[in-house]
Amino acid sequence: MKKVAIIGGAFRFPGTTTDQYWTDLLNGRDLVSTVEADRWSHEAFLHPDRSHPGTSYTFAAGSIGDVSKFDAAFFGISPREAAQMDPQQRLLLELSWEAIEHAGIAADRIGGTDCSVFIGMASADYSYRVATDLGVVESAFATGNTASIAANRISYIFDLKGPSMAVDTACSSSLVAFHQACRSIVSGESTHALAGGISLHLHPYGFITFSKASMLSPDGRCKVFDANGNGYVRSEGGAIVLLKDYDQAVADGDRILAVVPYTAVNTDGRKQGLTVPSFRAQAELVTRAYQYCGIEPDDIDYIEAHGTGTAVGDPIETRALSEALGSRRRADNPLPIGSVKSNMGHLETASGVAGLFKAIYAIQNRMVPGTIGIDTINPAIPLDEWNLRVVQENLPLKSSGQITIGVNSFGFGGLTHTSCCRALKQPNLLNPETAPNPGVPAKEPGRAKRPAPLIRTGKACKCRPTAYRLWSPHARRMPCVTPLVNGLMR
């Protein structure tokens, strides 16, 4: 059975940085704040009454801050075109470059190959802002605000010849994109693949519509598996991973962050309601995935659950995990589960890849960060009966041997994704000094230690990132995000 290696990655997650991310999770930090005040007028669109028209009862959110900065010249894009581009496209270009760089590959060397691109995204917030003044629309607006182009532009900029497409399955989008990328590599269609997802808060529409559906937590927290779970928190961010055939990655001496033996996707079909999850469909998918891999339930070290903190979704997912895995484990070995949404909220279309990065870090560090914010386990989740364990404190994993972590991701239309990630008998892969790559020969005994070379990477460019305001030139209640800069926007 062919496996896929994750050899690089990059992310922007709310309330943290790449350097601080793992420390923040281990320290149990709450990374949720509120929507940036300059995205739109909170006074105009916030109202405590859910029935009040045109408003949301909460703007609690995980935010990544200023999204206006972009070095257009670095990517060969004119300032005029950059101004018409959805910031989601801008951020995806940055993440793709960083993921390739993180893998130790020069961007020009991957150009011309059949590397594929699969991006999970759904938001059209940026185009909603322009709806108030269609006179600002120029020729670059169509490509700048079309989901397919978000993937196609990456292929264009980096000269990638493999399949290139956007995937929208709501909150499971990024991991369904990841699934498609893995299948593209396993089938031989692609040698490499960039996969991930993006979600930014650029218009109040999303908050308003989910507020009317009572899906958002009035308390502004994802209380995962908690008795007081009353909805989720909308958060923003994005992430990209670079994938490669595992055997080829070993042969090429690539640093391998994690190995993916299998991914699987299904849909609920007809059920109680369109947005109500199906316990049976989830259980069948998880069972099939691990049986196909030949992984015994007792060999699974942890499951990163979808876990949004909703009164309906959490009990259904945990019951499915019990049916598929927990009930098949030894009684003295309950299945550990948790969710990064307790720390940073729900990144919606990018939420799956947020869980994937938590799994990658857990594999590399042989440690699972605790799920925070739980006072009392939801009584609809009988952990002892279902042979499950919610990881509420940092959980050390075995110090040697193979680690297996699963990642779940669900869309509210009924599409379910599950992945299995593994480290193959390796120590901490975050530190190359202590983690020899399986594809690199061991040092010869007695060989003199030589100074390590200093490597600097980057594209030769004298330009600096420029701020591009978010369009809302004549919206009476939605002021511009950043000042007009250098006449880039009229």
Domain regions of the chain by residue span: 4-423
SS3 assignment, position 36: coil
Alpha-helical segments (H) within 187-239: 205-212
The CATH number corresponding to 4-423 among 3.40.50.2000, 3.30.70.330, 3.30.2320.80, 3.40.47.10 equals 3.40.47.10
Tell me the per-residue pLDDT of 20-50, one tens digit each, with 9 for 90 and over: 999 999 999 999 999 998 899 999 999 999 9
Tell me the per-residue pLDDT of 254-301, one tens digit each, with 9 for 90 and over: 999 999 999 999 988 888 888 788 889 999 999 999 998 899 999 999
Tell me the per-residue pLDDT of 44-97, one tens digit each, with 9 for 90 and over: 999 999 999 999 999 999 999 999 999 999 999 999 999 999 999 999 999 999
DSSP letters spanning 266-284 = EE--S-SSTTS--HHHHHH
Per-residue confidence (pLDDT) for residue 471, from 0 to 100: 53
Tell me the per-residue pLDDT of 309-336, one tens digit each, with 9 for 90 and over: 999 999 999 999 999 999 999 999 999 9
Phi then psi for residue 108, to 5 deg, are -75, -15
Residue 444 has pLDDT above 90, yes or no: no
- Cβ-proximal residues to 58 (8 Å cutoff; 6+ apart), any chain: 46, 207, 211, 216, 217, 218, 220
Residue 480 has pLDDT above 70, yes or no: no
Alpha-carbon 143 to chain mean position: 24
Residue 475 has pLDDT above 70, yes or no: no
Return d(Cα 204, Cα 129) in angstroms, integer: 10
SS3 assignment, position 357: helix
Residue with tokens 């060969």: 76
DSSP classification of residue 388: E
Tell me the per-residue pLDDT of 151-184, one tens digit each, with 9 for 90 and over: 999 999 999 999 999 999 999 999 999 999 999 9
- Cβ-proximal residues to 53 (8 Å cutoff; 6+ apart), any chain: none
Q: Is 486 exposed, middle or buried (0-12, 13-18, 19+ CB in 10 A)?
A: exposed
Residue 75 tokens read as 């990517």
Residue 119 has pLDDT above 70, yes or no: yes
Return d(Cα 326, Cα 304) in angstroms, integer: 14
Residue 28 tokens read as 């149990």
